[in-house]
């Protein structure tokens, strides 16, 4: 566009010069005078600066991900980067340099004015540190996957003819969709968790949990006869470590290295773990894996262990375990029955209303009064009002559900008001008359709703007439009853007139419908059917997750029930009758009650977990406290939210092997370079028992802190199975323990009698007689205790009640369910648990007898040489020669060969990824396959920081490496085979130990 020239009057030029000189004189040393052309040039340059910053940030952030600085350089420029925030500081440096370089190329010229943008140079490390303070970075956008950057104090300078005519400082802020910080934070979290110890959330704690599951599975397989030389071998450590690492990749990045998953499957198949599980003694393994039952097992005989009732089919950590709602369904059912009648009643309650509403009003003057004269005085006013009501046409207005209309009466009420005013006038009295008429359209309605209960409102096929499964009246009497109670003898026209005074008000009453005979039984039968469905509702988890307390069954079952609630409720499109609605109302109330109980169960699980942790921490295992600490802390997991990015993980090597790899297996390596990505070491304490550890362990196994009826019964059975000398030494304790156990069983008997009393016509004496007769077949305390514990006593009492009394199906069901619940509550109460002192005293005295013999002979037993007398005694006791004794530490009581055999392993793994990359799609129409990639490997990161054409060292990028150390313990029943590594090696080290890479 050409320049437009205009003539300016000389007088105006003079004024401008005068004003300009005044402004100049008043601004010496201050800002430059603003000119429109200069401002426009500055604005354009500022816009260009914003674009330059965006391009620079995108480029710098992408490059920082390709070469992330994790360790600052020990150089002049390294002072700009701190150890704690090396990556972020280096990213700020890159952004500053990239922005500065792009600003140097910005220059805008207009009307002879040239505008440039700039940032200060960084000739030194301190200058660089000061400069990067200008750069602020933070995560932004959805899930923090974008990068928000502010570059402070960018200088814009305008020149004309070599002179500065304007200056401006701007601080552009841009947000770019580059997930550099988000991915770096995830990689940092992944690396931190790889290096987490057993007491933290990460590899250490998970490795502990997996090792416990694997050790118990393989240990019991070996114990059962499988040809396993090493219970815990380094190949297992490699398998578990890779599995956990891949799992953590999925948690942090949404997926794991696909080749790593493939090799993991291959490695799992070739460890032959699955082949060994079939030979394991699963019942005992399930018992001993319970943390609360672990200690004190040395007081039980082999028979007590084998009859413990633990029947889980496997000890493999990856085996699936099904956990059902079971008795929680009964507990919720019993609570609902307390108010089932109320639930049904609410269904038959109908709310009815009389509604009187003025729809519209009009008023007009029929006769206007004449105007009073100037000297008229008002003497008085008389009014006369007449009302008339007439029907009017009109459709009934819509009414909101769940209300529906019984009656509708549209009326028009006419109120005619005559007003007479008497006046005193100069010529005598005068009267003026005014007539006004108000017409009001009024609706008088009788409405009702019958949505009592919480089930959703739906049409009812038969509602105000007889019908339904019991041919009941439904709510047939609601409408006439409502009319009688709300309208009665009142005339509708009178109610219409009344509406003028009660506009919008309603009168509400509740009408109780008549319930048909047999309704309770129908509802109960339906609920019982739903209860059985809910009882069988289950979740599937793994033994490892459950054993390590990573799964809260109550919480999982509550979620499962919530997901199935609609299916179990099975609401129809319409209810057949009010009785039908009552049935679904009861279903809904029952499912809510089950959910509440499951949530209580979840809370109790959390409390139990806390109690278990507390008890484990309190146990002193004399020299192996770290083993117990690791056991206590194992199995923690990290909760990670999704970034909403399609992240792909690629590692080299994909699977961290214990062997040596070269460039043929790891593409990122040169052909002549080798690496050992994973190294491992494990030490089996008792391949040959050691005297000092044996002595400490013999004195360190303590009894359980909680005493349940099962513990008391098993302790009694263990004492009864002991030799005569032991029984004589324990006779006083045994009598007291048997008495206390009998008292606890008496409490269970009494609770059962209470259930019988409440469910039959029997009195208390007869109820006790029923229970006594049913339980007469168990003549000993131990036998009766086992009957209550395994459910046989409940079945016996229920069968006896049914034999003696003619019970309805609901009543029989209630008694059986009541017996189950009463037994649970009794076993959980103080009265149903024998006092702890006598159980502990009996157990401790038995242990003293064990220790007395064990401590006197254990040192000789595990020493290098044995006397002929000791050797013959051991051979007689164990039934085999010492030369055939397997690995493990046997803890032997006086008579039987062993109570239990224990063993321990200490393990450590160290690993390193040669290359670890995370990529995210960043395709565009021009580059549809482009990806953003974050890479961790080993190398120096350099950048031209002082703009001299030579790159300076900024820092180093390091490989992801880790180290995890933990320990694991196992205890098996008293059998000669024992448990442990039997290949003759106490310590196993993989090639390259202790340095991976």
CA-nearest of 789, 778, 779 to 714 is: 789
- The pLDDT, as a whole number, for residue 764 is 87
Six token digits for residue 547: 């054993």
Cα–Cα distances in Å, from 445 out to 124, 352, 389, 407, 409? 90, 10, 16, 5, 6
Cis peptide preceding 653, ω within 30 of 0: yes
SS (H, E, C) 19-48: HHHHHHHHCCCCCCCCCHHHHHHHHHHHHH
Residue 686 gets which letter from DSSP?
T
- The 10s digit of each residue's pLDDT in 146-174 is 999 999 999 989 888 888 888 899 999 99
Q: At which residue do the structure tokens 């696909």 appear?
A: 258
432 vs 308, residue with greater confidence: 432
What's the mean pLDDT when you consider all of the chain? Answer: 75
Across-strand partners of 408? 445
If you compute the radius of gyration of the chain from its CA atoms, what whole number of angstroms results? 44
- The 10s digit of each residue's pLDDT in 626-682 is 554 666 666 766 667 788 889 999 998 888 888 887 767 677 777 777 888 999 988
- The 10s digit of each residue's pLDDT in 7-33 is 334 333 333 333 333 333 333 334 444
Task: Assess whether pLDDT exceeds 90 at residue 790.
Answer: no
Burial pattern 145-159, b for ≥16 Cβ within 10 A else e, equals: bbbbbebeebebbbb
How far apart CA 659 and CA 673 sit, in angstroms, is 14
Sort 984 into a burial class: Cβ within 10 Å, 0-12 / 13-18 / 19+.
Answer: exposed
Residue 980 neighbours by CB distance under 10 Å: 29
How far apart CA 834 and CA 287 sit, in angstroms, is 21
> Which backbone phi and psi does 407 adopt, to 5 degrees?
-140, 150
| β pairing state of 428-449 and 538-542 | unpaired
- DSSP helix/strand/coil, 507: strand
| Concatenated DSSP letters of 369-420 | PPPP-TT-EEEEEEEEEEEEEEE---PPPP--TT-EEEEEEEEEEEEEEEEE
CA-nearest of 537, 646, 548 to 597 is: 537
- The 10s digit of each residue's pLDDT in 528-555 is 899 899 988 988 875 445 544 566 778 8
Q: What mean pLDDT do residues 828-850 have?
A: 69
How far apart CA 604 and CA 902 sit, in angstroms, is 31
- DSSP helix/strand/coil, 512: strand
| pLDDT tier for residue 611 given thresholds of 50, 70 and 90 | very low
Task: Assess whether pLDDT exceeds 70 at residue 859.
Answer: no
| pLDDT tier for residue 395 given thresholds of 50, 70 and 90 | confident
- DSSP helix/strand/coil, 963: strand
| pLDDT tier for residue 563 given thresholds of 50, 70 and 90 | very high
| pLDDT tier for residue 72 given thresholds of 50, 70 and 90 | very high
Task: Assess whether pLDDT exceeds 80 at residue 753.
Answer: yes
Residues 6+ apart with CB under 8 A from 465: 474, 476
Q: What mean pLDDT do residues 837-861 have?
A: 54
How far apart CA 623 and CA 187 sit, in angstroms, is 38
Q: At which residue do the structure tokens 């105000």 appear?
A: 464
238, 655 Cβ separation under 8 angstroms = no
Q: What mean pLDDT do residues 41-58 have?
A: 89
CA-nearest of 644, 674, 645 to 659 is: 674
- The pLDDT, as a whole number, for residue 722 is 61
How far apart CA 65 and CA 187 sit, in angstroms, is 11
Cα–Cα distances in Å, from 635 out to 249, 268, 314, 317? 17, 21, 19, 12
How far apart CA 847 and CA 853 sit, in angstroms, is 10
How far apart CA 997 and CA 984 sit, in angstroms, is 29
- The pLDDT, as a whole number, for residue 920 is 92
- The pLDDT, as a whole number, for residue 63 is 94
How far apart CA 301 and CA 889 sit, in angstroms, is 17
- The pLDDT, as a whole number, for residue 305 is 27
596 vs 887, residue with greater confidence: 596
Cα–Cα distances in Å, from 342 out to 29, 333, 520? 89, 14, 11
| pLDDT tier for residue 910 given thresholds of 50, 70 and 90 | very high
Residues constituting the chain = 997
Residues 6+ apart with CB under 8 A from 342: none
How many CA atoms does the CB half-sphere of 841 hold within 13 Å?
Answer: 16
- The pLDDT, as a whole number, for residue 150 is 94
384 vs 513, residue with greater confidence: 384
| Concatenated DSSP letters of 971-991 | EE-S-TT--S--SS-SEEE-T
- The pLDDT, as a whole number, for residue 499 is 84
878 vs 361, residue with greater confidence: 361
How far apart CA 490 and CA 492 sit, in angstroms, is 6
245, 252 Cβ separation under 8 angstroms = no
Residues 6+ apart with CB under 8 A from 670: 663
How far apart CA 914 and CA 673 sit, in angstroms, is 12
- The pLDDT, as a whole number, for residue 96 is 94
CA-nearest of 571, 460, 515, 599 to 340 is: 515
Q: What mean pLDDT do residues 972-993 have?
A: 68
Q: Which of 497-506, 927-936, 948-957 has the lowest mean pLDDT?
A: 497-506
How far apart CA 647 and CA 253 sit, in angstroms, is 6
How far apart CA 221 and CA 811 sit, in angstroms, is 48
Cα–Cα distances in Å, from 217 out to 226, 272, 276, 564? 11, 12, 8, 34
Residue 925 neighbours by CB distance under 10 Å: 5
Q: What mean pLDDT do residues 764-769 have?
A: 87
Q: At which residue do the structure tokens 């429109």 appear?
A: 36
> Which backbone phi and psi does 658 adopt, to 5 degrees?
-85, -10
Cα–Cα distances in Å, from 681 out to 232, 234, 684, 973? 11, 7, 10, 28
Residues 6+ apart with CB under 8 A from 258: none
Residue 383 neighbours by CB distance under 10 Å: 11
């Amino acid at each position: 566009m050409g320049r437009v020239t205009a003539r300016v009057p000389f007088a105006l030029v003079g004024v401008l010069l005068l004003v300009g000189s005044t402004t100049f004189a008043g601004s010496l040393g201050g800002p430059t005078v603003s000119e429109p052309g200069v401002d426009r040039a500055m604005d354009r340059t500022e816009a260009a600066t914003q674009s330059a910053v965006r391009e620079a940030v995108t480029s710098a952030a992408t490059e920082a991900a390709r070469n992330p600085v994790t360790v600052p350089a020990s150089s002049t420029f390294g002072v700009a980067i701190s150890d704690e925030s090396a990556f972020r500081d280096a990213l700020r440096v890159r952004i500053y340099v990239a922005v500065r370089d792009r600003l140097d190329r910005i220059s805008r010229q207009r009307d002879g004015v040239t505008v440039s943008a700039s940032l200060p140079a960084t000739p030194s490390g301190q200058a660089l540190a000061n400069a990067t303070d200008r750069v602020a970075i933070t995560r932004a956008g959805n899930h923090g996957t974008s990068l928000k950057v502010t570059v402070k104090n960018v200088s814009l300078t305008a020149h004309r003819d070599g002179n500065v005519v304007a200056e401006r400082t701007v601080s552009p802020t841009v947000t770019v969709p580059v997930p550099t910080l988000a991915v770096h934070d995830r990689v940092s979290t992944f690396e931190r968790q790889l290096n987490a110890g057993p007491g933290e959330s990460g590899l250490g704690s998970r490795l502990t949990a997996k090792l416990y599951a694997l050790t118990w599975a393989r240990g019991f397989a070996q114990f059962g006869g499988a040809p396993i030389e090493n219970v815990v071998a380094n190949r297992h450590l490699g398998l578990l470590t890779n599995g956990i690492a891949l799992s953590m990749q999925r948690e942090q990045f949404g997926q794991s290295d696909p080749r790593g998953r493939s090799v993991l499957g291959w490695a799992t198949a070739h460890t032959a773990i699955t082949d060994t599980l079939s030979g394991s003694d699963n019942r005992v393994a399930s018992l001993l894996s319970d943390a609360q039952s672990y200690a004190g097992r040395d007081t039980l005989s082999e028979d007590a262990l084998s009859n413990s009732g633990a029947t889980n089919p496997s000890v493999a950590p990856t085996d699936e375990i099904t956990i059902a709602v079971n008795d929680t369904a009964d507990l919720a059912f019993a609570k609902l029955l307390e108010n089932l009648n109320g639930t049904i009643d609410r269904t038959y309650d109908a709310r009815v209303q009389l509604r009187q509403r003025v729809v519209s009003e009009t008023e007009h003057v029929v006769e206007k009064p004449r105007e009073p004269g100037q000297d008229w005085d008002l003497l008085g006013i008389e009014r006369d009002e007449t009302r008339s009501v007439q029907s009017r046409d009109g459709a009934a207005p819509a009414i909101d559900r769940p209300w529906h209309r019984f009656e509708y009466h549209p009326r028009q009420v006419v109120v005619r008001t005559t007003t007479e005013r008497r006046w005193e006038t100069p010529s005598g009295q005068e009267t003026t008359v005014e007539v006004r008429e108000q017409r009001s359209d009024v609706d008088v309605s009788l409405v009702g709703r019958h949505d009592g209960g919480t089930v959703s409102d739906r049409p009812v096929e038969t509602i105000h007439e007889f019908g339904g499964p019991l041919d009941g009246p439904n709510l047939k009497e609601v409408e006439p009853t409502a009319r009688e109670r709300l309208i009665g003898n009142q005339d509708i026209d009178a109610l219409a007139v009344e509406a003028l005074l009660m506009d919008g008000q309603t009168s509400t009453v509740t009408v109780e419908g008549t319930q048909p005979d047999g309704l309770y039984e129908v509802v109960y039968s339906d609920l019982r059917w739903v209860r059985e469905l809910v009882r069988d509702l289950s979740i599937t988890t793994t033994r490892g997750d459950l054993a390590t307390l990573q799964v809260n069954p109550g919480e999982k079952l509550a979620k499962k029930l919530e997901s199935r609630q609609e299916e179990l409720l099975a609401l129809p499109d319409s209810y057949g009758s009010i009785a039908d609605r009552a049935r679904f109302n009861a279903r809904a109330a029952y499912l809510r009650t089950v959910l509440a109980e499951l949530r209580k169960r979840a809370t109790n699980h959390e409390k139990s977990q806390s109690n278990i942790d507390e008890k484990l921490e309190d146990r002193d295992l004399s020299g192996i406290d770290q083993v117990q600490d690791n056991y206590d802390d194992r199995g923690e997991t990290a909760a990670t939210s999704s970034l909403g990015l399609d992240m792909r993980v690629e590692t080299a090597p994909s699977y961290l092997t214990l062997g040596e790899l070269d460039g043929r297996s790891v593409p990122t390596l040169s052909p002549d370079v080798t690496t050992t990505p994973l190294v491992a070491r494990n030490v089996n304490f008792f391949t040959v028992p050691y005297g000092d550890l044996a002595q400490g362990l013999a004195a360190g196994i303590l009894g359980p802190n909680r005493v349940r009826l099962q513990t008391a019964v098993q302790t009694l059975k263990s004492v009864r199975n002991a030799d005569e000398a032991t029984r004589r030494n324990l006779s006083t304790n045994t009598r007291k323990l048997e008495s206390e156990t009998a008292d606890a069983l008496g409490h269970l008997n009494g609770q059962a009698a209470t259930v019988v009393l409440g469910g039959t016509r029997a009195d208390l004496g007869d109820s006790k007689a029923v229970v006594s007769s049913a339980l007469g077949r168990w003549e000993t305390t131990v036998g009766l205790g086992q009957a209550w514990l395994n459910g046989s006593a409940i079945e016996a009492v229920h069968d006896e009640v049914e034999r003696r009394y003619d019970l309805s199906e609901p009543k029989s069901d209630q008694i059986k369910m009541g017996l189950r619940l009463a037994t649970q509550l009794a076993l959980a109460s103080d009265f149903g648990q024998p006092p702890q002192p006598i159980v502990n005293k009996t157990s401790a005295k038995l242990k003293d007898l064990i220790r007395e013999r064990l401590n006197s002979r254990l040192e000789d037993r595990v020493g290098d040489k044995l006397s002929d007398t000791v050797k013959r005694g051991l051979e007689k006791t164990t039934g085999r020669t010492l030369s055939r004794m397997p690995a493990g530490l046997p803890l032997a009581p006086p008579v039987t060969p062993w109570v239990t055999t224990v063993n321990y392993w200490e393990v450590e793994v160290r690993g390193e990824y040669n290359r670890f990359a995370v990529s995210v799609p960043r395709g565009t129409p021009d580059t549809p396959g482009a990806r953003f990639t974050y890479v961790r490997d080993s190398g120096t990161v350099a950048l031209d920081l002082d703009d001299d054409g030579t790159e300076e060292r900024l820092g180093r990028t390091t490989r992801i490496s880790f180290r995890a150390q933990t320990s694991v313990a196992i205890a098996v029943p008293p059998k000669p085979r024992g448990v442990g590594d039997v290949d003759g090696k106490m310590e196993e080290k993989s090639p390259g130990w202790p340095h991976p890479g």
